Amino acid sequence: MQEMKNMILIKPSLAFTLLAISSLSKAQMPFDPYASIVINSSGLQPGIYGNASAALGKPTTWIKDSINGGTDQKLRAGLTYGAWNIAPNGTPLIVTIPAGGQITLAFKRPIFDDPKNFFGKDFIVFGNSFLASNLSYTASVNPFSINILGGPDFLEPMQVSVSPDLLNWHSFPLSSTTAADSLWPTQAFRWDSALGGFGEESDFSRPVHPDLTRANFTGKSLPQAVELYQNSGGGTAFDLAETGFKWIKYIRITGNGGEIDAISRVKPQVKTVTSPISP
């Protein structure tokens, strides 16, 4: 608890931030994909969902499940099965932010407004939302038997705000496409059609294609739905262009009872990506 307390009280100075940015060019900076520092938090509750550090690092891949289909089996986080409980190694996976609460996280180096990133997006926030389906996802259920329904989905939109210096802030509108713990659900692993099963880990620095809408998923089997992601790990992607900031380092999530799993930066797009929607 003392370690967590010390971490929450961290207050990086603006002078240090500006010095770090001026001394390193963007090209010289290493690619650190995930938020790695808790600046502060408030209003969190005790228990496994009250640890702000659970929002650091990469999104959830495996979940220790004690309800669906067995005792303490491992299940993959995905479109129809959001992160909850703990990881197989016992560590917390997500943090719940009650109404009136907040967490502020930081990256070691700035996130730049860069139109060369995938689809012009700059960072992605991951929650534990999931899409409505006809069957619960378990280790014993054939993924092709799981079909995406039209709703209702499990979404708990929370407001996202960003800052370069902890003084000046921009808050994104609270909508399904610009809010935390909303569209799109985390998909931890890609679907490998050659293997007929889940394959490699998804790319958590690649947003879902902007052509996709919620309606594109209705009626699809789980594997078909995962393939629409085109190897993306999901999450809600944000573009800094509308903020007026050239770069930011701090991201604040204001709560309403939803959950945060991770925040990643978006990587540059190196080749053309075709739309997953048939013309």
pLDDT in tens, 98-125: 999 999 999 999 999 999 999 999 999 9
Domain ranges of the chain: 2-265
HSE (side-chain half, CA atoms, 13 Å) at 239: 12
Euclidean distance between CA atoms 104 and 254, whole angstroms: 9
Chain segment 186-231, per-residue pLDDT in tens? 999 999 999 899 999 999 999 999 999 999 999 999 999 999 999 9
Distance between CA atoms of 87 and 276, rounded to whole angstroms? Answer: 32
Q: Is the pLDDT of residue 19 over 60?
A: no
The per-residue b/e assignment along 63-91, b for 16 or more CB within 10 angstroms, e otherwise, is bbbeeeeeeebebbbbbbbbbbbbbeeee
Six-digit token string for 247: 């770069």
Mapped onto helix, strand or coil, the DSSP state of residue 4 is helix
Confidence (pLDDT) at 30: 59
**Element housing 19 (H / E):** helix 14-23
Strand partners for 74: 64
Task: Count H helices and E strands in the chain, helices first.
Answer: 3, 14
| Residue 93 backbone zone (phi > 0: left; psi -120 to 50: alpha; other: beta) | alpha
Backbone phi, then psi, for 227, in 5-degree steps? Answer: -65, -30
User: What is the C-alpha to C-alpha distance for residues 57 and 168, in angstroms, rounded to an integer?
Assistant: 25
Alpha-carbon distance of 93 to 277, in angstroms, equals 33
Angstrom distance (rounded) from CA 224 to CA 276: 11
Q: What confidence tens digit (pLDDT) does each residue in 35-87 have?
A: 999 999 999 999 999 999 999 999 999 999 877 655 568 899 999 999 999 99
List the 159-163 sheet strands across, edge first: 37-42, 102-112, 247-254, 159-163, 170-171
Residue reference for tokens 């971490």: 7
Q: What is the pTM of this model?
A: 0.88
DSSP string for residues in 64-96: EESSSSSSSEEEE-BTTB---SB-TTS-B--EE
